[in-house]
Structure 1
Amino acid sequence: MKRAGLRVRVIAGFAAGALALSATMALVSFQVVRQSLLDERERTAVRAAYYDASVVRAGLGTSRDPDVVAVLRTLDTGENRRALLQRDNEWYARQADTGAAVAVPPELQRRAAEGVPSVQRVRADGTPTLVVAVPLSESVVFYEVDSLRELEHTLSVLTVVLTLVAVSTAFLGAGLGWYASRYVLRPLRRVADAAEEIAGGASKYRLDPAAEPDLGRLTTSFNHMVDELSTRLERDRRFAADVSHELRSPLQTLAAAVSVLERRRDQLDDRTATAAGLVSAEVARFQQLVNDLLELSRGDRPAERVPVDLPELAGQVCRERGVDPAIVDAAPGGPWCVDRRLVGQLLGNLLDNARAYGGGAVAVRLRLSDGVGTIEVDDEGPGVSPEDKPLIFDRFVRGRSAGARADTAGTGLGLALVAQHAAAHGGTATVTDRPGGGARFRVDLPGCTP
């Protein structure tokens, strides 16, 4: 199961925390308010019941055989209260129906018969009800049944309000989590952006320790890592350049000697002539390798952009390599603002790669749109295997498998130079499959509009 991202976890944590806190506060608030309202309502009901009981006691004492119903009707009980009187085990009410007596629980009747005033909450016909018992004498008990329907409605509304508040607080917590995650992840985004800049060749890019004091250790470690990486890359470039320069002199001597052998090849026997041809080819390959290494060692140099007629340059590169310039398909447009030397070498390397591994180039397309120049070179070879595509632009990667040294005259640095020259322009080099078979190498160069 895929683990959620840091931002999602932070937002979920804030939301869950806010929901738990708000739910706890809502539950506590509900219990406190509920108990307070019930206690207040009970005190009010008891006061009203005792007052009504005193009125009934006074009414019953006026004669030996009082009209109990008439006495009960003198009470002002409103809509929520019902008055009952139990006299000599007979029930009396303001109305003829004494059905409200079923709301009086037996336990309450027993305590009242013993002369103990009592209060009890019950449910009558599904409605919460408060029953107050006030003994008037040994055989007379006054009861008042007080409906708590309005109080129950009030508590229901309070429950809905507190639930909405809890849910709203959870959403607010999620919003705070989103904001906090943005704030917390901002330094990490800076580190990621810095890493992308450095990967793109901006070796002088550094993080500002003062921008995020809380992440000072991370910033310092990151900058130290970049310094070490830059030092090592510079040392490697300097080593490659020094070795290439040191090799040039003996190579020139070898090339001069080989040229003498080539001029006198017709005077040599077949075996010696074949050996001389092999030496000449290897010396030429060695010279190309040294030149490519020197070019790679200059990878930190920015492109010197000037307006260039790229279709004309592409045709020239094709002719130099014996390729029909008619394969160049250039969309109408003005000149490209690029480094003429780097783009010329880039095109040449793509054509050489197509000849060596793809059966030759079949199309060269040039497009300039919204300031982004696109160069595509198609071949009709077997294409590039999926496992080799991520590595095809690495150094010394040739043929169908990464790291394999193919039996060709190539140096294994041609496509690495293509990627390096594209990066010098702030662009990228990619490879895809050509419709119909073969490979399609594509180079995107931004900022090509003069």
Structure 2
Amino acid sequence: MRRRFGLRDRVMLAYGLLALGLSGVLALVTWSVVSNYLTNQRISSAIVETTDNANTLHYGLYGLTSSCGPVRRLGQEPACGTVVPQSPSMVMNLVEALPSTDTAAMLMHYDGAWYTVSAKSSDIPADMVESAQGGVKVDRRLEVGGDEVLAVGVPVGRPGEAFFELHPLNRLDNTLRTLKLTLILAAIVTALLGLAVGRLASTVALRPLAKLTQVAAAVARGRLDARLEAENDPDLGGLARSFNQTAAALEKRVIADARFAGDVSHELRTPLMTMMNSMQLIQNHRAELPTSVREPVELLGDDLDRFRQLVVDLLEISRDDGGDQGSRELVRIGDLVRAAADATAGREITEVAPDAADLTMEADKRRLERVIANLVDNAEQHAGGCKGVLVQAGGKGVVIYVDDAGPGVPEADRERIFERFGRGTPGTPPNPHRTGTGLGLAIVARHVEWHHGTIQATARPEGGARFIIDLPAKNP
């Protein structure tokens, strides 16, 4: 199933993308400025170094001119002011003696011949040679032997003579590569920091919304007195006041309805007791009744029993809805469950595990006894009989299992059966757990929640339904 991004995820993602965008722009600008600066600096230093070496060669080659004094070379006397040509060995010695800071290769074209150190004359393009020999300084990036180099050509003296140096760019390329990786890593780290900041910011910004969700969920669970505490907030005050007013109005309405249901139920108790007593009197003289009347009397008796149970359940619901706080006292869970379950079933059906024998909790005895009694009675009357009640340690403290021998609860109805007058899924057979008044399991769910516990309906491994109650408890 495709996961949807929530509001918090979208805020976090927006922060991350913003951080990534800003860091990306900053990285590109930094890369452009720094790489251009380093490249220009490297070219400038190479040109300066090559020019200095060319000047050194120029002095060594042309510094010896004929004077008006005796200068002997090869047994001849050159004219005053003419250039004294150098021997090839002398030229080679001059080239080899030149200083080099980065193992640059050097080439010298002098007197129609090439003099090289760590290079070949074919490494220099012909157009560069022509430009340098014509008296123009030139530089160009080349690939020599698979390596990037910067070729610099400088005229030396006479036309046709030039000096070249090939400066390796490995250090520059390594520096630029390191800079690139550093900027990429910085952009990634910045984006991650942006996501973290976005997560924190969204958590802080959405905290009132989370609080609203919690309070709304509490109201939905029946805590009608839950309220928001942000009425003085300049941004959320209006929402908080509207929500609180709605919750207050709902609480008043529910209390009024509960009071009305309670009053009606109380008013019905007197005529109901009269009818029940009268029905009991009639049933005591059932043998004296005509045969044609006995069946209607039995049906009427059954309906009166259901009516009595409905009135009792309505009184219980109205008491709970009306804000009855009950009273808590320390009870031993195993003993309470055993007494309520065995009394309702009329036989011993309860098993208390040794690890749960001494577990206690602060409970409303009346409510907790009603929970067990309703579940056992439901199993006895409508689900083929109660197969057993088990109390053992676990969950929040103590777990109570109530099993029956009925057909079980369809998975689609396992939440709906705890609603008031809830019905099964349309098109499915009637649920035996809903054949009573429709309030018994709703009362169970409310009372379990009142004790800060949970209840769920599952399938019994041997067949039938299993109700699991998880309550907070502890050893004394």
TM-score class, shorter-chain normalisation, is 0.7 to 0.9
The equivalent residue for 1:83 is 106
Alpha-carbon distance in 1 for matches of 2:178, 2:343 = 88
Cα pair distance change 1:150/1:376, threshold 3 Å? closer
**1:411 and 2:412 aligned:** no
Structure 2 counterpart SS, 1:121? strand
2:350 partner letter: V
**1:438 and 2:458 aligned:** no
TM-score by length of 1: 0.87
Q: Which deviations, in whole Å up to 9, do the C-alpha atoms of 1:113-140 show, x marking residues without a partner?
A: 4432222222222333222222223222
How far is 1:389 from its partner? Answer: 0.9
How far is 1:310 from its partner? Answer: 5.2
How far is 1:33 from its partner? Answer: 1.2
1:112 partner letter: A
Q: Which deviations, in whole Å up to 9, do the C-alpha atoms of 1:223-250 show, x marking residues without a partner?
A: 3442343233223323322332333343
Alpha-carbon distance in 1 for matches of 2:228, 2:363 = 30
Count of aligned pairs:
446
Q: Which deviations, in whole Å up to 9, do the C-alpha atoms of 1:381-435 show, x marking residues without a partner?
A: 1111111111111122478978959799732211111112212222222211112
2:366 partner letter: R
The equivalent residue for 1:277 is 298
- In structure 1, which of residues 351, 356, 371 is the aligned counterpart of residue 381 of structure 2? 356
Is this contact kept in 1: 2:345–2:380, CA < 8 A?
Answer: no
Matches within 5 A, 1:19-418: 19-61=20-62, 62=64, 63-67=83-87, 68-87=91-110, 89-93=112-116, 95=117, 99-135=119-155, 136-209=157-230, 213-299=234-320, 300-308=323-331, 311=334, 313-318=336-341, 320-321=343-344, 323-325=346-348, 327-331=349-353, 332-333=357-358, 337-367=362-392, 372-397=397-422, 410-418=436-444
Q: Which deviations, in whole Å up to 9, do the C-alpha atoms of 1:291-340 show, x marking residues without a partner?
A: 11111111132342224455555555456545312x11123226654222
Cα pair distance change 1:105/1:426, threshold 3 Å? same
2:443 partner letter: L
Is this contact kept in 2: 1:201–1:423, CA < 8 A?
Answer: no
Alpha-carbon distance in 2 for matches of 1:179, 1:111 = 64
Alpha-carbon distance in 1 for matches of 2:30, 2:431 = 77
Alpha-carbon distance in 2 for matches of 1:407, 1:165 = 63
How far is 1:9 from its partner? Answer: 4.1
TM-score by length of 2: 0.82
> Structure 1 runs of 4+ off > 6 angstroms?
398-403, 405-409
Is this contact kept in 2: 1:19–1:167, CA < 8 A?
Answer: yes
Structure 2 counterpart SS, 1:208? coil
2:169 partner letter: L
Alpha-carbon distance in 2 for matches of 1:276, 1:46 = 121
Is this contact kept in 1: 2:12–2:195, CA < 8 A?
Answer: yes
Greater mean alpha carbon deviation, residues 400-409 or residues 413-422: 400-409
Cα pair distance change 1:382/1:57, threshold 3 Å? same
Alpha-carbon distance in 1 for matches of 2:385, 2:351 = 16
Structure 1 counterpart SS, 2:206? helix
How far is 1:74 from its partner? Answer: 4.6
Q: Which deviations, in whole Å up to 9, do the C-alpha atoms of 1:6-47 show, x marking residues without a partner?
A: 444444443343333323322321221121122122222222
Alpha-carbon distance in 2 for matches of 1:122, 1:297 = 94
